[in-house]
């Protein structure tokens, strides 16, 4: 793969347009543009934002900032970095503006619906789904960080019917920002993130709602007692509503399946506890304990803190 | 409260027996005994362990270590620091060995059942339930730490029919190890910890079980993708089974009520998502978000990380 960008030569020669400059898009742009000790990865980065108010801040992260979606016509690679439902709406519109042979990819958190639409785009556009598995508490362009992608898994979901060049070019892009590209079918990606990200969010939400259901008894005192366990378990419930609504609704089927699994597990725990079935209860707890511990062994790439 | 320990003078003159030297008991003993820059808080600390094997290690944390439960006869204060169900079993036996006017307390994670038994003890024994809200990942005596209690809420649950001296002496004990004593009725304590500790554990267990329910699809890959959200949400599921089984079974009613609340919340989330009811879904997520954020405001004593 000495020359992954067949149409434009090497990535270093490419013009890259990022549509949507929030935390993810802004960080990608900053990593590609380089500066502050890191090398520039491409010829030019164009940032496309919705509102003119954002342009001054955007210019800190890109070479050229504009509100004109038509600017994608100048790009060899276009990255859609908006919420997933906006990506779904923008895909046909952006593809129609792009030049033949250019690559269209995205950073959306669910992939099957996006890859479905990508498979209907006109032939001369290369397309591949993307989902970098990173982020941080604070969102928005002001929190953008050129090192956000360092070492993060960056899932690439091939689009049926597309040439291998699409995945190859996206691989080069992911590597250029320091991420670890990982090719995975969109349906498997969506099941995986439902299990490891979307369900944990739903469970954190349910835990907070349950804990506050009896707020009248015990009053504020219980929050004063809340220790690290509650804080960690519910941390993600403090996340941004618009983003999570978007994620859950675009990964509906896989999340519903995970919710059903979780309710079955809670039913089993409830039954064992209600019957004071110590052996059955301990067996459920032990299954979770051993799986959790196995997951975060060094060999699986995760580390516990 | 210049002289909380009426029978024995000040705490500094007291002999304190700790029954069960795990993380909590060992840390309490170490904090009372002082050393390594902190002051001794009482005259003598006796540690009572089950197995002779533990005696050499125990002697690092106490002035005198023994396997003889009869040693509680020498103590002005006896602290039961075993799992909750062992506390329930030991209470009458230990009370019968103690000298009249001495204080009997405990560090158990659920309180109503323990306080019930305490209320049946013979009159000359002072009794009060205790639950320090601290801990750490590693358990056992080897992980004991004289600073474990520093700044931690230490709930004291009055026993009906007992004189005020019981709570006063336990308050002095909690302060002596650096904790913040907080008096709370046992039933309210149990509801509070069900909400902020026991349910979060059950939810973490269910999240792990659900995430592994489809391990055949996606295989190990999903664990490689698992980011901070999954790790934090499920951290407590890696905890010690014997301890958690004990906690859940001794706080059965309050935990079952919280599990019912959590299932109701999950049902509401599931219904909104299944109907693609964006407004209803966002309302649930927003309720959890605002409550979570309010909980961890600086004024409530918790801090987010």
pLDDT in tens, B30-58: 999 997 778 899 999 999 999 999 999 99
Q: In terms of domains, do B28 and B176 share one?
A: yes
Q: In terms of domains, do A100 and A205 share one?
A: no
Nearest to B263 among A242, A263, A292 (CB): A263
Which residue from A minimizes the CA distance to B153?
A: A225
Does the residue A115 lie in any domain?
yes
Residue A127 pLDDT: 98
- Cβ atoms < 10 Å from Cβ of A123: 9
Measuring CA to CA, which residue among A8, A73, A64, A63 is closest to residue A35? A63
Q: In terms of domains, do A166 and A247 share one?
A: no
Q: In terms of domains, do A176 and A30 share one?
A: yes
CB pair distance less than 8 Å for A196 and B208: no
Does the residue B289 lie in any domain?
no
Residue with tokens 């959790």: A292
Residue with tokens 């979770």: A288
Does the residue B158 lie in any domain?
yes
Q: In terms of domains, do B193 and B180 share one?
A: no
* Total tally of structural domains belonging to chain B: 2
Interchain contact A290–B (C-beta under 8 A)? no
Which residue from A minimizes the CA distance to B286?
A: A241
pTM above 0.95, yes or no: no
The residues that bridge with B298 in the sheet, in sequence order, are none
Measuring CA to CA, which residue among A4, A11, A53, A10 is closest to residue A34? A11
Count of pairs with CB atoms under 8 A, one residue in A, one in B: 330
CB pair distance less than 8 Å for B305 and A231: yes
Q: In terms of domains, do B110 and B235 share one?
A: no
Measuring CA to CA, which residue among A257, A252, A111 is closest to residue B277? A252
Interface of B with A in 76-135 (CB under 8 A): 133-135
Q: In terms of domains, do A148 and A239 share one?
A: no
Ranking A192-196, B64-68, B133-137, B262-266 by mean pLDDT, the lowest is B133-137
Interchain contact A191–B (C-beta under 8 A)? yes
Nearest to B249 among A239, A269, A278 (CB): A278
Which residue from B minimizes the CA distance to A304?
A: B231
For B212-257, what is each residue's pLDDT tens digit?
A: 886 555 556 666 676 677 888 899 999 889 999 999 999 999 999 9
Q: In terms of domains, do A155 and A65 share one?
A: yes
Residue with tokens 């509801």: B191
To test the contact with chain A by mutation, choose from B135, B205, B275 the residue with the greatest count of A C-beta atoms within 10 A, namely B205
Is pLDDT at B120 greater than 90 in this prediction? Answer: yes
Encode chain A (305 residues) as per-residue pLDDT tens digits: 334 455 445 899 999 999 999 999 999 999 999 977 788 999 999 999 999 999 999 999 999 999 999 999 999 999 999 999 999 999 999 999 999 999 999 999 999 999 999 999 987 999 999 999 988 777 889 999 999 999 999 999 999 999 999 999 999 999 999 999 999 999 999 999 999 999 999 999 999 999 888 655 555 666 667 667 788 889 999 988 999 999 999 999 999 999 999 999 999 999 999 999 999 999 999 999 998 888 776 433 333 32
Chosen domain end from A126, A149, A184: A184
Query: What CATH number is attached to the domain comprising A217?
Result: 1.10.3660.10
Nearest to B211 among A195, A214, A232 (CB): A195
Is pLDDT at B7 greater than 50 in this prediction? Answer: no
| Euclidean distance between CA atoms B291 and B287, whole angstroms | 6
CB pair distance less than 8 Å for B195 and A210: yes
Does the residue B290 lie in any domain?
no
CB pair distance less than 8 Å for B210 and A265: yes
Residue A150 pLDDT: 95
Chain B residues lying within 8 Å of A210, measured CB to CB: 195, 199, 258, 261-262, 264-265
State the smallest CA–CA distance between residue B283 and chain A in angstroms.
9
Chosen domain end from B151, B184, B217: B184
Is pLDDT at B122 greater than 80 in this prediction? Answer: yes
Residue B225 pLDDT: 72
Q: What is the ipTM of this complex?
A: 0.86
Q: In terms of domains, do B83 and B203 share one?
A: no
Nearest to A285 among B184, B241, B282 (CB): B241
DSSP state for residue A19 in the 8-state scheme: E
CB pair distance less than 8 Å for A255 and B273: yes
Alpha helix (H) residue ranges in A71-128? 84-97, 112-118
Q: In terms of domains, do A81 and A137 share one?
A: yes
| Euclidean distance between CA atoms B189 and B153, whole angstroms | 12
For B77-117, what is each residue's pLDDT tens digit?
A: 999 999 999 999 999 999 999 999 999 999 999 999 999 99
Residue A117 pLDDT: 97
Residue B230 pLDDT: 86
Interchain contact B39–A (C-beta under 8 A)? no
Nearest to A295 among B134, B200, B226 (CB): B226
Is pLDDT at B25 greater than 60 in this prediction? Answer: yes
Does the residue B221 lie in any domain?
yes
CB pair distance less than 8 Å for A304 and B231: yes
Mean pLDDT on B153-175: 96
Domain extent at residue B223: 189-274
Query: What CATH number is attached to the domain comprising A109?
Result: 3.40.50.720
Interchain contact A249–B (C-beta under 8 A)? yes
Residue A219 pLDDT: 55
Does the residue A269 lie in any domain?
yes
Chosen domain end from B166, B184, B202: B184
Q: In terms of domains, do B115 and B64 share one?
A: yes
Q: In terms of domains, do B20 and B102 share one?
A: yes
CB pair distance less than 8 Å for B133 and A225: yes
- Give the burial class of A15: count Cβ atoms within 10 A of its Cβ; 0-12 exposed, 13-18 middle, 19 or more buried: buried
Residue A305 pLDDT: 29
Does the residue A29 lie in any domain?
yes
Nearest to B225 among A196, A209, A210 (CB): A196
Interchain contact A67–B (C-beta under 8 A)? no
Is pLDDT at B303 greater than 70 in this prediction? Answer: no
| Euclidean distance between CA atoms A196 and A192, whole angstroms | 6
Does the residue A248 lie in any domain?
yes
Interchain contact A57–B (C-beta under 8 A)? no
| Euclidean distance between CA atoms B292 and A201, whole angstroms | 13
Nearest to A208 among B225, B291, B301 (CB): B291
Residue B223 pLDDT: 66
């Amino acid at each position: 793969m000495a020359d992954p960008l067949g149409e434009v030569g090497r990535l270093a020669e490419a013009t890259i347009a990022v549509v949507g400059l929030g935390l993810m898009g802004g960080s990608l742009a900053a990593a590609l543009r380089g500066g502050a000790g890191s090398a520039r990865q491409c010829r030019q980065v164009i940032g496309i934002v919705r509102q003119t108010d954002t342009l001054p801040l955007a210019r800190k992260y890109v070479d050229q900032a504009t509100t004109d979606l038509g600017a994608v016509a100048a790009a060899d690679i276009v990255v859609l970095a908006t919420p997933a439902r906006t990506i779904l709406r923008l895909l046909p519109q952006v593809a129609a503006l792009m030049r033949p042979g250019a690559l269209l990819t995205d950073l959306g958190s669910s992939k099957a619906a996006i890859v479905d639409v990508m498979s209907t785009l006109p032939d001369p556009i290369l397309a591949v789904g993307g989902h970098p598995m990173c982020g941080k508490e604070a969102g928005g362009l002001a929190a953008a960080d050129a090192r956000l992608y360092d070492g993060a898994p960056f899932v690439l979901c091939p689009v049926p019917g597309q040439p291998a060049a699409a995945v190859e070019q996206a691989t080069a892009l992911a590597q250029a920002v320091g991420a670890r590209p990982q090719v995975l079918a969109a349906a498997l990606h969506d099941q995986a993130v439902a299990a490891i990200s979307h369900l944990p969010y739903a469970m954190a939400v349910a835990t907070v709602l349950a804990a506050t259901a009896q707020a009248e008894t015990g009053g504020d005192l219980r929050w004063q007692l809340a220790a690290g366990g509650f804080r960690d378990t519910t941390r993600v419930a403090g996340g941004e509503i618009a983003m999570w609504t978007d994620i859950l609704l675009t990964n509906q089927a896989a999340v519903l399946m995970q919710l059903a699994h979780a309710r079955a597990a809670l039913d089993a725990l409830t039954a064992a506890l209600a019957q004071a079935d110590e052996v059955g209860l301990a067996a459920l707890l032990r299954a979770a304990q051993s799986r959790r511990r196995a997951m975060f062994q060094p060999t699986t790439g995760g580390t516990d803190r």
